Amino acid sequence: MSQDDLQQRKASATPRGVGVLCDFFIERAKNAELWDIEGRRFIDFAGGIGVLNTGHLHPRVQAAVAAQLQKFSHSCYQVVPYETYIEAAERLNRLAPGRHPKKTAFFTTGAEAVENAVKVARAATGRPAVIAFGGAFHGRTLLGMALTGKVVPYKVGFGPFPGDVYHAPFPNALHGVSVADALAGLEKLFKYDVEPQRVAAILFEPIQGEGGFYPAPVEFVVALRALCDRHGILLIADEVQSGFARSGKLFASEYFPVDVDLLACAKSLAGGFPLSALIGRAELMDAPGPGGLGGTYAGNPLALAAALAVIDVIRDENLCQRSLDLGQRLRARIAALDMPRIADIRGQGSMLALEFLHPDTREADPVFTRKVQAAALERGLILLSCGVYGNVIRFLYPLTIEDDIFDEALDILVLALQA
């Protein structure tokens, strides 16, 4: 079957709303490389949108799933439970930041983890309202879209959205939003839209993902914690994209000197298998009654086997340090370039991004961003864009990438930037 034949079948059988970046179809993959059905090789700096921190088909993940597949593939944990669910929860409870006792529930997608964080917050506080931030991405479900602070393409034509969801500015020095501005935006919400006594939770990303890879300043998160404590509001971290060594720590929340109450994670938790988790203070996680949390596929045994292997790989291969090392190498290559269009290289560890502004107007430059992405793809490097203005290239390569392949990819990136 040719690429053209598959494209025709795709156009006939699948909706246009499922946007697809590449015009070719994958045949096989290994670590940071993949090959299409015509045998062409690509270096994968997209990682399934941040899912493959341990690479395509890490041997230990593959072996763990194969072993589980010899036992059983599904029973629904809520019907017939299994030990791996408990073991994975115990390990995440120990590893997640926070000095408090924790409990963990498993789901299937990042959006589910976020929605269940909201459910737990509402059940624990008896309050309905939730505050998120401009530029945030929290999923494509109805509540996920309501929480998301980016209209195009996620919210266009899909309203009305659930009520009692509010947005405040997120700190962004490059675009003129200081920490003081962001905190003032929250105070204005309390004056204009919702009293703090009705707010169950404030939801934030330690490093905004789809919004442009903007790290939350430490002083901002410290102020959020104080504000939440003052008003009895819970603080929720969405670590769906930033978790599992991407930032140089197992969780990006570890960069803050204060604790969050609930933490949602997914993506690289299970090395390519669908699994998400909500980790939180034990007393909060027990707020919903029996049957209030769960799902038919929540905590799939194959995905849990993968997750246990992923946690071992991150520890044994020292991927947090690897993330820091690779990020420094990428930064150094970019810093050596003289390119006025590069307005910023930012992030933590290997959760890094380049933002492009037009050198004359200093306005967002999505045209150049698309040009870089296309030039890289033509040379065999898959890159993803992001940002509210579509002017950011983000890097989500496997942290297990071989040094020579990483250097090859950086060479391609430089050529694409200069094309």
What domains does the chain contain, in order, with CATH numbers?
A: 3-57+318-418 (3.90.1150.10), 62-316 (3.40.640.10)
Helix (H) or strand (E) holding 346: strand 342-348
**Amino acid symbol at 349:** G
Tell me the CA distances in angstroms from 26 to 17, 33, 42, one per residue in order: 20, 11, 10
Q: In this predicted model, what pLDDT tens digit does every residue of 167-190 receive, in sequence order?
A: 999 999 999 999 999 999 999 999
Which residue, 230, 238, 286, 302, is CA-closest to 100? 286
Residue 404 CB contacts under 8 Å (≥ 6 apart), including other chains = none
Among the listed residues 406, 346, 412, 75, the one whose alpha carbon sits nearest the alpha carbon of residue 214 = 346
The CA distance from 210 to 321, in Å, is 24
The phi-psi region of residue 411 (left if phi > 0; otherwise alpha if psi is between -120 and 50; otherwise beta) is: alpha
Q: How far apart are CA 116 and CA 399, in angstroms?
A: 29
Closest CA to 135 of 193, 216, 198, 191: 216
The pLDDT score that the predictor gives to residue 375 is 98
Q: How many Å apart are CA 85 and CA 176, to the nearest integer?
A: 45
State the pLDDT at residue 313. Answer: 98
Mean pLDDT, contiguous 10-residue spans, the chain (419 residues): 92 95 96 97 98 98 98 98 98 96 98 98 98 97 97 93 97 96 98 98 97 97 98 98 98 98 98 98 98 97 98 98 98 95 96 96 96 98 96 98 98 96
pLDDT of residue 56: 98
User: What are the tens digits of pLDDT across the range 86-139?
Assistant: 999 999 999 999 989 999 999 999 999 999 999 999 999 999 999 999 999 999
Residues 224, 229, 231, 237: what is their CA dihedral angle, to the nearest 10 degrees?
A: 50
89, 94, 99, 105: CA torsion to nearest 10: -10
What is the per-residue pLDDT for 419?
A: 83
- How is residue 356 written in tokens? 């492009």
Beta strand 129-133 pairing with 102-107: unpaired
DSSP assignment, residue 173?
Answer: G
Distance CA 216, CA 179 (A): 9
Query: Whole-model pTM?
Result: 0.97
Per DSSP (E only), the strands in 172-261 are 199-204, 234-238
Beta-bridged to residue 132, according to DSSP, are 167
Q: Give the pLDDT of residue 45.
A: 98
